[in-house]
Amino acid sequence: MKKAFLLGMTMILAFLLFGCQAEKDASGKGKSEDVQLTVSAAASLKDVMTELAADYKKDHPNVSVKFNFGSSGALQQQIEQGAPADLFFSAAEDKFDRLVEKGLISKIDSVKLLENTLVLIVPKGKAQQVSGFEDLTKSGVEKLAIGTPESVPAGKYAKETLTNLHLWSKVQSKIVYGKDVRQVLSYIETGNADAGVVYRTDALTSDQVEVAETAASKLHTPIIYPLGIVKQTKHREQAEAFYKFLQSDQAIQKMEKYGFKKG
């Protein structure tokens, strides 16, 4: 009789505990909240950031990272207009600084994280025809692809380089503009342009192009990649954690593997 009573009480307690736990789970309490971060990042960061987000997910299963890749100028304007973003990873200081000046990103929550190099690329096997910037004036070079200078940092750096080499006026009629640096890369890969100017990191992602020449750093504005937390984030804690992760040795080493240099 006593055993039956104890068994019955045990079953009742187990039922009550199970019911409380189910109620907690149903209300969303008692378990970590799933959060999706939106990161607006320069197109040149696509490969490494996609890999880093996957690495981060392994240790933070409740945090997923959604990317908005594009030209830094376009992303800057989107954030100014109120587009949702938790972090901004720009390929140009001037685009980033505009958001700081407008109070949309705090200097305290920003860092100059990476540096990059500008290169002239040609389709694989075409380096003999175009071995450097000076060859862009040749009649055999009909189309030169660069990013739109006003919105694509790589395009701005390309224009500065060509101007300082006294080539801009000579090649301007040949230029085909891309909406971001990855579109410029695709123009060369598909043979829709004879040469193009991209970042070294972009050239390393493709086996269909080769580097003809690396632009001397004195020919253009320093290529700096600032990273910052957008003030309007609705997930401050998670955004701050991912921001710190991107500055970790683990993340920097992976970025360096893709050809970036620590800023």
In sign, the C-alpha dihedral spanning 205, 79, 113, 177 is: positive
The residues facing 37 across adjacent strands are 65
pTM, 2 dp: 0.83
Interval 145-164: pLDDT, tens: 999 999 999 999 999 999 99
Q: What percent of the chain has pLDDT over 70?
A: 88
Which of 22-26, 108-112, 238-242 shows the lowest mean pLDDT across its residues? 22-26
Shared domain for 107 and 132, answered yes or no, is no
Q: Are residues 140 and 211 in the same domain?
A: yes
* Judgement on whether residues 58 and 93 belong to the same structural domain of the protein: yes
Cβ contacts of 260 within 8 Å, gap of 6 or more: 48, 114, 115, 116, 201, 225
Residue 62 lies in a domain: yes
Return the pLDDT at 174: 97
Same domain, 146 and 201: yes
The answer to whether position 195 is within a domain reads yes
What gap in Å lies between CA 133 and CA 215, rounded to an integer?
8
Query: Binning pLDDT at 50, 70 and 90, where does residue 18 land?
Result: very low
249, 194: one domain:
no
Indicate whether 142 and 205 sit together in one domain. yes
CB atoms within 10 A of CB 179: 16
Which domain CATH number covers 97? 3.40.190.10
For range 94-110, the mean pLDDT: 97
The DSSP call for residue 188 is H
Q: Please give the Cα distance from 91 to 71 (Å, whole number).
A: 8
Give pLDDT tens digits for 74-95: 999 999 999 999 999 999 999 9
pLDDT band for 225, please (50, 70, 90 cuts).
very high
Distance of CA 22 to the CA centre of its chain: 41
Query: Can you tell me the distance from the alpha carbon of 229 to that of 248, in angstroms, rounded to the nearest whole number?
Result: 16
> What are the tokens at 115?
């540096």
Rounded to whole angstroms, how far apart are CA atoms 22 and 34? 18
The answer to whether residue 22 sits within a structural domain is no
Instruction: Note whether 138 and 93 are same-domain residues.
Output: no
Q: Are residues 95 and 158 in the same domain?
A: no
pLDDT(28) > 90: no
Among 32-36, 243-247, 254-258, name the one with the lowest average pLDDT. 32-36
- Name, in order, each residue with C-beta under 8 angstroms of 182's C-beta and a sequence gap of 6 or more: 43, 44, 46, 69, 202
Task: Locate all alpha helices (DSSP H) within the chain, ordered by sequence.
Answer: 2-27, 46-59, 72-80, 93-101, 153-164, 168-171, 181-189, 200-204, 236-245, 249-257
Q: Is the pLDDT of residue 202 over 70?
A: yes
The answer on 234 and 105 residing in a single domain is: yes
Q: Are residues 229 and 110 in the same domain?
A: yes
Question: Is residue 255 in a domain?
Answer: yes
Please check whether residue 10 lies inside any domain of the structure: no
The answer to whether residue 244 sits within a structural domain is: yes
Residue 235 included in any domain: yes
pLDDT value for 127:
80
Q: Are residues 107 and 140 in the same domain?
A: no
User: Mean pLDDT over all residues of the chain?
Assistant: 90
| Count of the separate structural domains present in the chain | 2
Query: Which range of residues forms the domain containing residue 92?
Result: 35-115+224-262
For residue 8, is pLDDT > 60? no
Question: What DSSP assignment string belongs to 59-104?
Answer: H-TTEEEEEEEE-HHHHHHHHHTT---SEEE-S-HHHHHHHHHTTS
Task: Identify the pLDDT of residue 129.
Answer: 87
Task: Say yes or no to pLDDT of 25 above 50.
Answer: no
Please answer whether residues 44 and 91 qualify as being in contact, where contact means their C-beta atoms are separated by less than 8 angstroms. yes
CA distance 83 to 54: 24
**Number of Cβ atoms within 10 Å of the Cβ of 246:** 22
Average pLDDT, integer, range 182-204: 97
Q: Residue 150: CB partners within 8 Å, gap ≥ 6?
A: 73, 156
Looking only at the bridges linking them, the beta strands covering 105-115 and 261-262 are antiparallel
Residue 7 lies in a domain: no
- The pLDDT value recorded for residue 26 is 38
User: 212 and 130, same structural domain?
Assistant: yes
